[in-house]
Structure 1
Amino acid sequence: MSNLPSKFKNIQTPHSGYHWDGSSRRFFEGWYYRITLPLHGQSFAFMYSIEDPRGGQPYSGGTAQILGPQDSYLCRTFPDVNKFWAHRENLAFGHWGRTDLQIKPEYLEPQVFDSRVEEGYQATASLNQGYLHDPGSSSRCFWEYEIKPLYGWGNSEELQKSTAGMLSFLPVFEPGWQILMARGLATGWIDWNGERYEFKDAPAYSEKNWGGAFPQKWFWINCNSFQGESDLALTAGGGKRGVLWWMESVAMIGIHYRGNFYEFVPWNSQVSWNIEPWGSWKMQARNSQFEVELIGTANNPGTYVRTPTEKGMAFCCRDTTHGNLRLQLRELLGGNVEKNGKQRSRIILEAQSSLCGLEVGGGPWDEVWKVITH
């Protein structure tokens, strides 16, 4: 892997490398790369996954999915796990489909990949490249863009944080979740069914999850393209996840804004949420210094995408990249409380977007999911 790009390692987050330990237990690892094109009012979300990479098991194989313009959808499977590769220390992975190469799969220089791999993808911290074609619908997508990371997960000048805290270094929480790049700048092109999108310094984002157990129910909010705020990125989410032999409901909010990181997580904050089966995402969080409120809404039906489950990839996740979001961040002030009993505060940030990623997954989603913490 000596030909792997070494730049940007200073903001590499924990868990950037591949987690599979070589065993035959049920296992998946998935990656999510998103770019937002404000001038077009569109987003592209690339979702890559590998299941049971040892091979020879009922659900062994890889999948690549794209959520494209107007929440359109493209998916291809890559059943040969031997054509998947991933780096253990760094963010770098790929899966080859048709190719005339007879070598073991590895990172290729972009021009070599382009000329020798007929279908497949490769992705690193600084590159996302590939080609998918669905013969059933004749849909296809080519893409190649470079990424300059700006924020990983944490304050810019410090060591980057694990999204799930120190405990995520132990196989206690399943699945694991790591935001790899809260905000970056993407430059390149995407050809979606013959329509070519070229972009320079477009907002980019990436995250991953992995494990041997599968999330039962979750929600997610992500946006790094806000009106009038060029240096702002938000990711929030929550879910029911396995901890040893029980399930717990947890949620978090993370904001990168003008070089600062505002983190609201269960061990330093009270985080509450009210999520409808579709259409409304409301979250509030408060710690000793700050409080935040998020209101996300979706006026469109969204699109179902596949996610790993106990029984392989299944349509159990509903997404849109055209959600509306309002965000308010306040600093708590000492001294007397106001007449309504609330602590005095001042607004640090108010922002809104119409290009927010909103998601609900798992289930059941037959009623509002409401959790209030004090």
Structure 2
Amino acid sequence: MSVFTSYGNENRMRWDRTKRGFMEVWFATLNHGPTGSGLWLRYTLTAPKKAEPYCELWAFWFDPTGARSFAGKHRYSIDHLGSANGRDDGALVRIGDAWMSESHLEGEVTSGDRALAWSLDLEPAPATFQHIPAPLRDRLERRVSALCSPNLSVPFQGMVKLGGAAFEFERERGCQTHRWGARHPVTWAWAHCESFEGTSDTVFEGVAARTDIVRIPLPTTSLLYLRHEGEDIPFNELRWALSAKSRYEMPTWAFHARNESWKIIGGARATHDRAVQVRYEDPDGSERFCANSEIADLAIELYRSSPSGWRHVRSLISIRGAHLEFGRRSPFEGSPVTL
């Protein structure tokens, strides 16, 4: 079964504007090649069980030197949420003056006396990457949350302005993802990379998460995918996902997985000085703390099955070109909670 779908509705808003105990987020991550900086944008809505719904706009700029790094968000009452799913000049989601469509992201966030503004076009992917194995998607959507990347690795073009500086993006590849459901997992690690040394046709996407159902803890599930030299190598089909292994604790995630033909062993790392810590509020009122870096490191060893055993194929390395995130219920030591 393919890990890609082409229903055409994977990015559409799921919230019906009445349901409580629901959250939804669209986010994009990409890197600016000329400066080595990273960009993270989030359009979110939350309908708490016991409070009024609201929507938020988040924006982050990760400068390798730290000189121009930026973190900011705006919270809006729900009446600032525009019409969805193309009924508002093609916007999938509009929050105040900021909006996102299938092919464009626009917005601005201020923090103190600084502002981060963006106007970016993207080329929509022909198919959506599905992180979660098909037999589990409906169940997890109802009890935890669903996750997919309608634009796993696509070119972005446009402008980002930060203070008095302007950063032009010329077909820089990035990722756009959609999550919706009742809550975040209990803990998680996520990584994405398309900036490996010596290759321009390799993409890694992975998430490991631990959750509970009716307060019963479940084991960590690792869902990994690699595209290498034009070949899709999924490790997130159900039988392979159940055997994949992960160990994660800020600042490092180590993982390994296999399928019938390939094996992957890897590790991602982001030190505190290259990450930002923020607080999420789940619809049930609980908190999650997220440590995110868009200038992380990632190393992968790739093996292929042969009659004599596993044969090493390639070492894949990205220095400050990977995207990495950790989440849990308590704050991470070593860095302040910025937002």
Q: Is TM more than 0.5 here?
A: yes
Q: What letter is aligned with 1:295?
A: G
- Does the C-alpha gap of structure 1 residues 260 and 365 become closer, same or farther in structure 2, counting only changes over 3 Å? farther
Residue of 316, 325, 329 corresponding to 1:359: 325
Q: Deviations over 1:296-334 (max 9, x none)?
A: 122333211232324559561111112111112211113
Query: Paired residue for 2:119?
Result: 144
SS at match of 2:137: helix
State the Cα distance separating 1:45 from its structure 2 match. Answer: 0.6
Aligned twin of 1:67: 60
CA contact (8 A) 2:256 2:266 kept: yes
Query: C-alpha distance in 1, partners of 2:45/2:290?
Result: 17
Aligned runs of 1:1-374 on 2, under 5 Å?
15-52=10-47, 58-70=51-63, 71-81=69-79, 83-87=81-85, 92-97=91-96, 120-134=97-111, 137-150=112-125, 152-153=127-128, 161=130, 163-170=132-139, 171-243=141-213, 246-248=216-218, 249-265=220-236, 267-269=238-240, 270-276=243-249, 278-301=250-273, 302-310=275-283, 316-334=289-307, 336=308, 343-348=309-314, 350-364=316-330
| Mapped contact 1:13–1:162 kept (Cα < 8 A) | no
- What amino acid sits opposite 2:276 in the alignment? T
Q: Indicate if the aligned counterparts of 1:59 and 1:311 stay in contact, CA closer than 8 A.
A: no
Give the % identical residues: 16
Partner of 1:5: none
Which letter does structure 2 place at the counterpart of 1:262? I
Q: For the Cα contact (< 8 Å) 1:173–1:244, is it kept in 2?
A: no
**Cα gap change, 1:52/1:88 in structure 2, threshold over 3 Å: closer, same or farther?**
farther
The structure number with the bigger radius of gyration is 1
Q: Which amino acid aligns with 1:324?
A: D
Counting matched residue pairs gives 317
* SS of structure 2 residue aligned to 1:85: coil
Q: After TM superposition, give the deviation of residue 188 of structure 1 in Å.
A: 0.5
Partners in 1 of 2:217 and 2:126 — Cα distance?
31
Q: Matches of 1:193 and 1:142 in 2, distance apart?
A: 9
Distance 1:280 1:96 in 2: 34
Residue 58 of structure 1 deviates from its aligned partner by 1.4
CA distance in 2, matches of 1:255, 1:78: 37
Q: Specify every segment of 5 or more residues in structure 2 that has no aligned partner in the other structure, as ranges.
A: 64-68, 334-339
Q: Distance in 1 between the 2:9 and 2:226 partners?
A: 18
- Rate the CA distance shift 1:18–1:246 in 2: closer, same or farther, 3 A: farther
Q: CA RMSD in A?
A: 2.9
Residue number in structure 2 paired with 1:339: none
Quickly say closer, same or farther: Cα 1:198–1:226, change in 2 above 3 A: same
AA in 2 matched with 1:41: G
Structure 1 segments unaligned to the other structure (5+ residues): 1-9, 98-119, 155-160, 337-342, 368-374
Amino acid at match of 1:74: G
The amino acid of 1:271's aligned partner reads A
Q: CA shift at 1:168, angstroms?
A: 1.2
* Structure 1 residues 87 and 164: alpha-carbon distance in aligned structure 2, compared to 1, 3 A threshold: farther
Does the CA contact (< 8 Å) of 1:60 and 1:81 recur in 2?
Answer: no
Amino acid at match of 1:35: L
Residue type of the alignment partner of 1:323: A
Change (3 A) 1:96 1:59: same
TM-score, length-normalised on structure 2? 0.83
Going from structure 1 to structure 2, the CA distance change for 1:179 and 1:243 (only over 3 Å counts) comes to: farther
Question: Greater shift after overlay, 16-25 or 185-194?
Answer: 16-25
